Structure 1
Amino acid sequence: MNELHKETSPYLLQHANNPVHWKAWNSTTLAIAKNQNQLMIVSVGYSACHWCHVMEHETFEDNEAALVMNKNFINIKVDREERPDIDAVYMKAIQIMTGRGGWPMNVVCLPDGRPVWGGTYFRKNEWMETLEQLQNLFENNPEKMIDYAEKLKAGMDSISLIPESHNSFDFSNLETLLSKWKKSFDHEFGGYERAPKFMMPNNYKFIMRYAHQEKDDQLLDFVNLTLTKMAYGGLFDTVDGGFSRYSVDMKWHVPHFEKMLYDNGQLVSLYADAYKLTKNPLYKEVIEKTLQFVSNELTNDFGGFYSALDADSLNAENHLEEGAFYTWTKPELENLITEDFKLFSQVFNINQFGFWEEEQNYVLIQNKSLEEIAKENQIEVSELSQKKKDWEQILYIEREKRSKPRLDDKCLTSWNALMMKGYIDAFKALGNQNYLETALKNADFIISNLWTSDGNLLHNYKDEKSTINGYLEDYCFVIESFISLYEVTFDKKWLLHSKQLTDYCLYHFYDSNNNLFSFTSNLDEQLITRHFEIEDNVISASNSVMANNLFKLHIYFENSYYEEISKRMIEKILPNIDYPSAFANWLDLFLNFSDLNRELAICGTEALKNAWEIQKEYLPNIIIAGSESQSSLPFLKNRYVSKENLFYICQNRTCALPKKSLLNTILKLKN
């Protein structure tokens, strides 16, 4: 029978009434497959995934398809967000077999879990026919299937091996990579010259930093073009804030309408950095709207953040439809905006540019600044800006009457930490104390609910339950966010928490033979192959984040072992980089080893206030620490002088004589 009603995952619960005899991935299920010598179907997806819903409706809700699946297979449903380890392992197999990946992901495995066939979305008849062929092969020629499984597993194992290289990596290599990278840029709409378009925050974070440090105005212009066009596009929900996961076209117009917590956390951080550098009011608007959306729709009463809003919602006919909540018809807009409709149409392109060609709908998109449109219409920018706010409020009120997208209300530790850091970075840029308070509340939520007395983090939280041991992604992002909390509070406990979690990772995740951290703890049952996450994707690779954390913590605690491991990791990865977009966070770490990197110690009764002023500036090459009294933190030891406010600018453990002027310190750091 279908056992998913026992689970807490919203995605698994969506499948709890399927006629398929779904089971969850656990030791009991795996033992049944082995004991009964049955093939396994491992079907992986997530709650906000449109094509997962399509395959469910067409196939998994169909009695004929369910009969084929139930007759001979152990059927396992996996929420990729709850079990990224399973997803990563079988995604390797899919990519080897088909050359591509995505979700839903469906794999047929031998009873011991080794994959033999798979792909992404399948239509019902193809699915049924293939399953019957595979079962026939398993019954009549299992040796052939086993031989293929062995070869495939060998390929999966080889992917996890990063070759050792004795080549050095320096700034000339970096310049070569940037030259190659630029060839993929879209200089009309920003981003990369392809569709679909993903935002890739870690890419633009690095490019912005490199361009700023190297004074490359062309690169900076490209980053600003990208961030502006992303903010203009239908990808960003101008009515209620928040970004969708990606756009299906080249101009950031029509999104895949799901809104994911991890995207919005990272994008707030990115736009906060960009605002500090440019003071562009559009970026401030994006930050404020996005955080308001997160507060309204993705925050629970205890300070935790929910995972996602679905791409699909009920349309006027009460059927699930992708984007139904977000799109508008021209008559609807004319009726709502009335006498301002002509001007509204200029701002949001209720014309051919803004038309969603596949449907009789418009997705709101800008292609000109308010300054340009105000000039064309001979009105003040302030007047047009106020009108835009009024229109958005009218649309928001109307849209709230619609059926909302389904909410995935589980809390994931890693994603919560990304969103916490977004709030911290927004506080640094804008100085809104509410953002800092929200970050602190989320940190307390993680400590209270997701950090056990045994020292380990847990990965998930739903209905007051946490059922999955933490992955490296949970540790690395919590450590990163706690370091960021220290930077805006100067409360040493956040660094001590970071150090404690780092030491736990070194004991339970670090593989000294590979000089990398495994994705799963050595306390967890191992899957068919080990996974070392090294490539940055829409989220930075957990190893690249850990290497950055170790670099920072070695400075705070003057810990040479942390520094040594961070160097080993980056020296292993950098010489093997071919396409830089997948290693942006590693390249960001590499810049920390340049002569431009500095450490700043701020000591005195106004240390925190001074730090907040400094953090309003874009200073990506500065690692900051401070104290309003004597501190036992190694980096700050003996730096405090009573009744003085001192600023120590240091490099490689060597500090210049302290400055006493905040302004002079900022000028020195910026030059």
Structure 2
Amino acid sequence: MNELHLESSPYLLQHAQNPIFWKAWNNNTLATAKNENKLIIISIGYAACHWCHVMEHESFENNEVATVMNNNYIAIKVDKEERPDVDAIYMKALQIMTGQGGWPLNVVCLPDGRPVWGATYVKKENWIDTLEQLADMYHNHSQKVIEYAEKLHEGLNILGIVEQNMHTDEFPFENIHFLVEKWQKSFDLEYGGYARAPKFMMPNNLEFLQYYSYIFQNNTILKHVDLSLTKMAYGGLFDTVDGGFSRYSVDIKWHIPHFEKMLYDNGQLISVYAEAYKRSKNQLYKSIIDKTLQFIANELTDKSGGFYASLDADSINEIQELEEGAFYVWKKNELESILKEDYSLFAEVFNINSFGHWEHENYVLIQKESLSEIATKNNISLEKLILKKQRWENLLYQIRSKRQKPRLDDKCLTSWNAMMLKGYADAYSALGNINYLAIAEKNALFITQKLWTPEGNLLHSYKNGTAKIEGFLEDYAFTIDAFIRLYQVTFNEEYLQNAKQLTDYCLEQFYDENQQFFAFNSRNDSQLIAPHFEVEDNVIPAANSVMANNLYTLSILYHNSYYEKLVNQMLHHITVKIDYASAYSNWMKLWLIKNSGKELAICGEKAQQELQKINSEYLPNIIIAGSSRNSSIPFLAHRFVANETMFYLCENKSCLQPETSFEAIQSKINS
């Protein structure tokens, strides 16, 4: 029987009525496969995945397909967001077998879980044919199948290990310039991002490039960052009506998105736009922050303070069928009817023309020019055009709200919540909006109360009052990062203590002395068919690169030489591997701060007030700490002076004479 009705994942529940005897990933299911000596089908996807829905409709709702699967296989459905470890292992296997990856991810495995075949989306006829052939081969020629699985398993084990740098010399820091110059060759000089489609936003890439250009005064790189952030904000990819970014665009101009909205993208992008706003005071960036956080509050926030995972790409269209993007698109005659005498100007702003046309007479709203350029051409004031644009968006929002919304994935994932928490903290830091801080602190309470057990470990997923699944390294790494950031915008030492406690737990349960990196799965968790050490940054930074950055900050604040040693080892192994810098941008950020970073302590009764001044500045190379009273944090020890507020600027474990004003220390920071 189909057992998915027992699960809480919205993705798994979407498949609960399939005629296939789906089971969830767990020890009992895997034991059943061994006991019955049956091949396993592992089908991995997520709730907002368009092609997952297509394959479900074509194959998994089909009785002919069900007969083949039920008679010959143990069928396991996996929500990749609930089990990123399972997804990572079988994605590696698929890439070995086919040279590509994606979702839905479908693999056929031996009863012990070792893969023998894999593909992404497969048409129904091909799916049936493949499964019948594989079942026949395993029944009649099982030794050949087992031999292939063994060879593939060897490759998986090799891929799972991080190659060690056995040289004792440090990789020259000056090479960072060569890597960035090589990286620049892939830039799209017209629309920002990279000169290819599909086009992903890559927040961590933008964060590093902005930091690099600031440190080395590289205006070419900085212009590219601003071009990317501006074009991304102009619409299409960004939902100008309701806020929030979709996962990627299918074209090169950021126009037609793959319409799903993911929490992790929006959390990271808020942080990037917040830092860009600090640097530039660009009002466009501020509007993106405010509108996106309004979207998060309206659509992806649980009353308990948690954040939901995503909104689907698909929604019900006017003929009551699921269609990708149906909720977001507009037709010309519809817009003319809504906007009336304002339509011509609206059409110019949002390109209701060949530039903004998608397909089937549908338009996705996108700006091509700045509002100031459009205002000048139309002989109206910028202020008036801004107000008109706001009214148009509010009007369209009211009309669009009557449509059927995309389906919601309402599970709360620890790692993604931490990214969003940090986004709110960064937005508060940049804009001073106290409501953003309140939401961040409420989410921190949600994590500590709902997802952090009395035994000291984090759980990965929360839904309907229940937390489950042993936390993965990404959960710890991003939560530690978020707590450090929350400390740095509040000086509440409880957040920093939480960060250190989770770090020490990671060292006990995840750190591998031989590899000198952190495993993705805890020692307490059931181990998979191959090890997994996540080191390459992608749309989300690698868990190991986040941990390395965390360890570096904590090594300074706690004067912890062991943390520092681990950071140096990890960076030593990684820097020599870097070829294409985009895949290591978070490591390069660490490399940069180790060579150009400074630390600032603010101690005194007015430390909180002074912190606000510091936080509003773009100072990416400064690690900030402080206290309005005596502190037990080693970096702050013996620095509190009653009736004074002192600023201590340090570099390379040496501190300048303290200053008593923000202005005085600011000149030294910038020197």
- For Structure 1 versus Structure 2, the TM-score category normalised by the shorter chain is over 0.9
1:654 CA displacement: 1.2
Residue 115 of structure 2 aligns with an amino acid whose one-letter code is P
TM alignment of 1:539-554, pairs within 5 A: 539-554=540-555
Aligned residues: 669
- 2:427 matched to 1:397? no
Q: SS of 1:459's equivalent?
A: strand
How far apart are the structure 1 equivalents of 2:571 and 2:487?
25
Residue 408 of structure 2 aligns with an amino acid whose one-letter code is L
Percent identity between the two aligned chains:
61
TM alignment of 1:65-144, pairs within 5 A: 65-144=65-144
How far apart are the structure 1 equivalents of 2:616 and 2:173?
28
Q: Render the CA deviation track for 1:134-168: whole Å, top value 9, x for unaligned.
A: 01110111111111101101111111222222263
RMSD of Structure 2 on Structure 1 (CA): 0.7
Q: Which ranges of structure 2 fall in alignment gaps of 5 or more residues?
A: none
Q: Render the CA deviation track for 1:300-320: whole Å, top value 9, x for unaligned.
A: 111000000000000000100
Q: Render the CA deviation track for 1:456-506: whole Å, top value 9, x for unaligned.
A: 000000111112010000000000000011111111111111111000000
1:404 CA displacement: 0.3
- 2:421 matched to 1:420? yes
How far apart are the structure 2 equivalents of 1:92 and 1:171?
31
Q: SS of 1:76's equivalent?
A: strand
Find the counterpart in structure 2 of residue 25 from structure 1: 25
**Contact residue 181 and residue 580 of structure 1 kept, 8 A:** yes
How far apart are the structure 1 equivalents of 2:460 and 2:614?
35
TM alignment of 1:572-611, pairs within 5 A: 572-594=573-595, 596-611=596-611
TM alignment of 1:173-212, pairs within 5 A: 173-212=175-214
TM-score by length of 1: 0.99
How far apart are the structure 1 equivalents of 2:310 and 2:171?
39
TM alignment of 1:373-522, pairs within 5 A: 373-522=374-523
TM alignment of 1:628-667, pairs within 5 A: 628-667=628-667
How far apart are the structure 1 equivalents of 2:523 and 2:244?
37
**Contact residue 499 and residue 553 of structure 1 kept, 8 A:** yes
How far apart are the structure 2 equivalents of 1:501 and 1:432?
29
Q: Render the CA deviation track for 1:573-627: whole Å, top value 9, x for unaligned.
A: 1101111101000000001111x31000001111011111111111000000001
How far apart are the structure 1 equivalents of 2:191 and 2:157?
39
How far apart are the structure 1 equivalents of 2:332 and 2:91?
42
- 2:257 matched to 1:255? yes
1:233 CA displacement: 2.8
Residue 476 of structure 1 aligns with an amino acid whose one-letter code is A
**Contact residue 604 and residue 645 of structure 1 kept, 8 A:** yes
**Contact residue 272 and residue 284 of structure 1 kept, 8 A:** yes
- 2:220 matched to 1:223? no
**Contact residue 235 and residue 255 of structure 2 kept, 8 A:** yes
How far apart are the structure 2 equivalents of 1:428 and 1:169?
35
How far apart are the structure 2 equivalents of 1:664 and 1:3?
66
How far apart are the structure 1 equivalents of 2:295 and 2:633?
38
1:653 CA displacement: 2.1
Residue 185 of structure 2 aligns with an amino acid whose one-letter code is K
Q: Which ranges of structure 1 fall in alignment gaps of 5 or more residues?
A: none
TM-score by length of 2: 0.99
Q: Render the CA deviation track for 1:86-141: whole Å, top value 9, x for unaligned.
A: 00000000000111100000000000000000010000000000000001110111
How far apart are the structure 1 equivalents of 2:298 and 2:268?
18
**Contact residue 161 and residue 532 of structure 2 kept, 8 A:** no
How far apart are the structure 2 equivalents of 1:456 and 1:318?
45
**Contact residue 451 and residue 467 of structure 2 kept, 8 A:** yes
1:655 CA displacement: 0.8
- 2:564 matched to 1:563? yes
Q: SS of 1:88's equivalent?
A: helix
**Contact residue 33 and residue 111 of structure 1 kept, 8 A:** yes
Q: SS of 1:342's equivalent?
A: helix
Find the counterpart in structure 2 of residue 318 from structure 1: 320
172-181 vs 425-434, greater mean Cα deviation = 172-181
Find the counterpart in structure 1 of residue 4 from structure 2: 4
Q: SS of 1:467's equivalent?
A: strand
Q: SS of 2:42's equivalent?
A: strand
1:360 CA displacement: 1.4
Residue 182 of structure 1 aligns with an amino acid whose one-letter code is Q
Q: Render the CA deviation track for 1:512-541: whole Å, top value 9, x for unaligned.
A: 100100000001110000100001111000
**Contact residue 271 and residue 423 of structure 2 kept, 8 A:** yes
How far apart are the structure 2 equivalents of 1:425 and 1:667?
23
**Contact residue 115 and residue 149 of structure 1 kept, 8 A:** yes
How far apart are the structure 2 equivalents of 1:423 and 1:415?
13
**Contact residue 577 and residue 583 of structure 1 kept, 8 A:** yes
Find the counterpart in structure 1 of residue 348 from structure 2: 346
How far apart are the structure 2 equivalents of 1:629 and 1:233?
47
Q: SS of 1:576's equivalent?
A: coil
Out of 318, 331, 336, the position equivalent to 1:334 is 336
Q: SS of 1:527's equivalent?
A: coil
1:242 CA displacement: 0.2
How far apart are the structure 1 equivalents of 2:278 and 2:347?
32
**Contact residue 619 and residue 670 of structure 1 kept, 8 A:** no
1:176 CA displacement: 1.2
1:399 CA displacement: 0.2
**Contact residue 602 and residue 627 of structure 2 kept, 8 A:** yes
1:390 CA displacement: 0.4
Q: SS of 1:64's equivalent?
A: helix
1:629 CA displacement: 1.1
**Contact residue 233 and residue 251 of structure 1 kept, 8 A:** no
Find the counterpart in structure 1 of residue 51 from structure 2: 51
Q: SS of 1:646's equivalent?
A: strand
**Contact residue 201 and residue 270 of structure 1 kept, 8 A:** yes
Residue 14 of structure 1 aligns with an amino acid whose one-letter code is Q
1:382 CA displacement: 0.3
How far apart are the structure 2 equivalents of 1:170 and 1:588?
15
Q: SS of 1:578's equivalent?
A: coil
**Contact residue 508 and residue 522 of structure 1 kept, 8 A:** yes
How far apart are the structure 2 equivalents of 1:420 and 1:545?
15
Q: SS of 2:576's equivalent?
A: helix
TM alignment of 1:144-163, pairs within 5 A: 144-163=144-163
Find the counterpart in structure 1 of residue 307 from structure 2: 305
How far apart are the structure 2 equivalents of 1:532 and 1:74?
28
